[in-house]
Amino acid sequence: MSDVLRELARVRESFDKPTLRLLDRKWAPLVLTIFRSTFSRERQSIHAERLHVQVDTLLQELVALGEEVPQGTGRSLCVQWMNDRWLFRSSDAEGEERYSLTSHALEALALVDSLAKDRALISESRLTTILDSVQHWATEADPDPSTRIQRLDDRIAELTAERDRLRAGGEVPAAGNERMYEGYQNLIDLIGQLPSDFKRVEESVAAMHRQIISDFRAEERPIGEVLDEYLAKTDELMGATAEGRAFEGAFTLLRNEELLSALRQNIQVILDHPFAAGLGSTARRDFRGTVAILRTGIDDVLSQRRRLTATLREHIENHDHVRDRELDAVLRALGRELETWMHTAGPRASVPVELLPEVPHTPHLRDRLWDPLAAAPPPPLEDRGEEAPAAPEFDIIRTQGGPYLDEVRTAITTAAQATEGDAALGDLFNTLSPDLRRPVEIFGLLHLLTQAEIAVDPDAYDEFHTVRPDQTGRAFRVPRVRVDAAARDALDHIEQIFEHAETGNSPARTAQKDTHA
C-alpha cells in the first residue's frame, strides 16, 4: 500500500468517527447550538423528559425566527442523536433516565470554541509550557544520575540567585495584562480538554460493562475467564491509554489535599491580577471551578467502575453451577430421546408437549404457631394524674383568643355618646380599659366599621395604643375614622342589629312583618 493510500484510509477512518460526523452534517450548527444551550459545566446531565421539552421549545423559537429546522419531535431527535453517539442515556440512583453529552460531542464543542476565539494559538505562554514540560520529562527520562544531579544543581542555582536578588531589594517584575491574558487562555485550553478526557474514560468503562454483561448472558465462557479479562482490561485502560493515565494523575492529585489547596490559592492569585477585571463573571466562575471539574470527572468514572463491580458481584453470587449442570443433563437426555424417536417416527408424526407444566395446588400450611404471649393484653397504664399540670383558667384562655366584639362595641358607643362633637376613633380606643385594648381588638373595630359603613380617611392615621395580655404595650397606626353624629347613629344601628340577632328578629324581618300587617 502506498503512502497516499494509507493516509487516505486513515483520514476516512477519522471522518467515520462521531466527532467529525457531527461537524460534517447539515444540521451541525443547530445541533451544537442546542447542546450548548441545554448543557453546561454545572449541568452535565439532564432528565430525559425535560431535555425532550427543551429541544421542542428551542426548535419552535428558531422556526418563529425564520430558521430552518429538522423534522421530528424533541424525543425523536434525542433518540437519533443518541444512536449517532452524541448523547448518552443512563439511569440515576432514583431510576430516572438522564441524558449527558458523549466525549465526541464535547470534542466537537471544544473545536468550535477554539475556532470561534479571536486570538493567536502560538504565544509565549504556550511555548513556555511546552519547554517546561520537555525539560521536566527529559529529566525524568535520563537514567544517568550525574546528569540529573547537574540539572537539579542548575535549577537550584537559578532559584537561589533569584531569591538573593529579591532579598537585596531587587525589583519584582510585574506581569502585564496582555501576558497574563495569554497565560490564562493557555490554562483555559488545557482545562477545557479535561471533561472530554474524563468522558472517554467513562465511556470505555461503560463499554467494558456492556461487554461483560453480554458475556455473562451468553454463558459461553467460564466466569473466571471473564473476570481475568475484566482485570486485564482495567489495567490496560488505566495504564495504556492517555485518558487512563490522565485519570490516574488526577486521582492522585485529588488525594493530596496540599496540592489541591495550593491549586485553589494559585487560581485565586491569578484572578486577583488586574487583567481579571476584564473577564466576565461566567469566565471567572468557570476558572475558579477547576477543582470541581476534576472532582466531577473522577466521581463519574468511579461511579461507572462501581456499577461494573456490582454487576460482577451480583452475577457471581447468583450464578448457580448445580442448576446449570442439571439443566444441561436434562437437555442432553431430551436430545437422546429425540434421536431415538426420529428412527421410528413418520414424517407427520407429532408428540403433544406442554410448554409450561401445570401449577401444583397445595393446601396452605401454617407458618406461625400460636404464642400465648402474643395474645396477652398490654399492661395497664400507670396513673400519672399527680404529675399533670394545672388546668388553665377560662379567662386566661379567652385573653389569647379573638376580639371582644360585644364589650368593645359597647365601650366605644358609650365613649362616643359621652363626647361632645366629633372624636377620633383612636382617641376613643385609647380611653378604654387595658383589657379591651388588646391588639386583636383593632381587627374587631375594623369589622364593626365595615358593618356600620363608616367612612375611613386613607390619608391620615391615628395611633392605637394597645396592651398585650402580658401587660406589654404596642402602638399601631390605623387609618383615621371620625366619629360624628352619623357615625354614632350607625353604631347605634349596629347595636340594634346585634340585639335583634340575639332575639332572632332582624330589622328587615320586622319591617317585612309590618308591611304584611
pLDDT at 399: 82
Is residue 471 situated within a structural domain? yes
DSSP H or E run through 496? helix 485-503
Is residue 43 situated within a structural domain? yes
Q: What is the largest distance, in Å, between two alpha-carbon atoms of the chain?
A: 131
Cβ atoms of 27 and 112 closer than 8 Å = no
> Domain boundary at 42, 71, 103, which?
103
Q: Do 207 and 316 fall within a single domain?
A: yes
Q: Do 332 and 217 fall within a single domain?
A: yes
Please identify which residue in the block is written with the cell numbers 388588646.
438
Determine the Cα–Cα distance for residues 154 and 157; give it in Å rounded to an integer: 5
> Domain boundary at 318, 337, 356, which?
337
pLDDT at 465: 92
DSSP H or E run through 132? helix 124-141
Q: Do 333 and 197 fall within a single domain?
A: yes
Tens of each residue's pLDDT in the chain, 517 residues: 567 777 777 777 777 777 777 777 788 888 888 888 888 777 778 888 888 999 999 888 888 888 888 888 888 888 888 888 888 887 776 778 888 888 788 888 877 777 766 554 555 556 666 666 676 667 767 778 888 788 888 889 988 988 888 888 877 777 777 777 777 777 777 777 677 777 777 777 777 767 766 766 665 666 667 667 666 666 665 555 555 665 666 666 666 777 777 778 888 887 888 887 778 777 788 777 777 777 777 777 777 777 777 766 776 666 666 666 777 788 888 888 888 887 788 777 887 777 777 777 777 777 777 888 888 888 888 888 888 888 888 888 888 888 888 888 888 888 877 777 778 888 888 888 888 899 998 888 888 888 777 778 878 888 999 998 888 999 999 888 887 777 777 776 666 655 554 554 444 333 333 333 3
List all residues 6 or more positions away from 139 whose beta carbon is below 8 Å from its beta carbon: 148, 151
Is residue 258 situated within a structural domain? yes
Is residue 112 situated within a structural domain? no
Residues 470, 475, 476, 480: is their CA dihedral positive or negative? positive
- The DSSP letter of residue 377 is P
Is residue 113 situated within a structural domain? no
Distances from the Cα of 287 to the Cα of 108, 128, 163, 246, angstroms: 21, 20, 30, 19
Cell triple for residue 285? 466562575
pLDDT at 514: 39
pLDDT at 512: 36
Is residue 162 situated within a structural domain? no
Residues 50, 54, 60, 63: is their CA dihedral positive or negative? negative
Cβ neighbours, 10 Å, residue 247 = 24
Q: Do 291 and 417 fall within a single domain?
A: no
List all residues 6 or more positions away from 62 whose beta carbon is below 8 Å from its beta carbon: 30, 69
Cell triple for residue 223? 466466569
Q: Do 326 and 420 fall within a single domain?
A: no
CATH number, domain of 10, equals 1.10.10
Residue 282: give the domain boundaries: 193-337
Residues 461, 467, 468, 473: is their CA dihedral positive or negative? positive
Q: Please classify residue 123 by burial: count the beta carbons closer than 10 Å to its beta carbon, then call 0-12 exposed, 13-18 middle and 19+ buried.
A: middle
| Rounded (to 5) percent helix, strand, coil in the chain | 65, 5, 25
Q: Could you write out the DSSP letters of every residue in 405-428?
A: HHHHHHHHHHHHHTS-S-EEHHHH
Q: Is 420 left (phi over 0), alpha (psi -120 to 50) or beta?
A: beta
Counted residue by residue, the chain has a size of 517
Q: Do 319 and 246 fall within a single domain?
A: yes
Q: Do 407 and 500 fall within a single domain?
A: yes
Cell triple for residue 333? 437426555
Q: Do 18 and 99 fall within a single domain?
A: yes
What is the tally of structural domains in the chain?
3
Cell triple for residue 49? 423528559
Determine the Cα–Cα distance for residues 448 and 411; give it in Å rounded to an integer: 13
Cell triple for residue 310? 456490582
pLDDT at 509: 38
Cβ atoms of 409 and 491 closer than 8 Å = yes
Determine the Cα–Cα distance for residues 442 and 468; give it in Å rounded to an integer: 12
Look up residue 394 and give its amino acid: F
Q: Is 508 left (phi over 0), alpha (psi -120 to 50) or beta?
A: alpha
3-state secondary structure of 239: helix
Q: Do 422 and 333 fall within a single domain?
A: no
Please identify which residue in the block is written with the cell numbers 391620615.
460
Q: Do 302 and 201 fall within a single domain?
A: yes
Alpha carbon 1 to its chain's center: 54
Is residue 207 situated within a structural domain? yes
Cell triple for residue 168? 537585596
Q: Do 317 and 407 fall within a single domain?
A: no
Is residue 48 situated within a structural domain? yes
pLDDT at 475: 92
Q: Do 411 and 500 fall within a single domain?
A: yes
Cβ atoms of 31 and 22 closer than 8 Å = yes
> Domain boundary at 55, 80, 103, which?
103
Determine the Cα–Cα distance for residues 113 and 107; give it in Å rounded to an integer: 10
Long-range contacts of 70-73 (CB under 8 A, 24+ apart): 70/27, 70/30
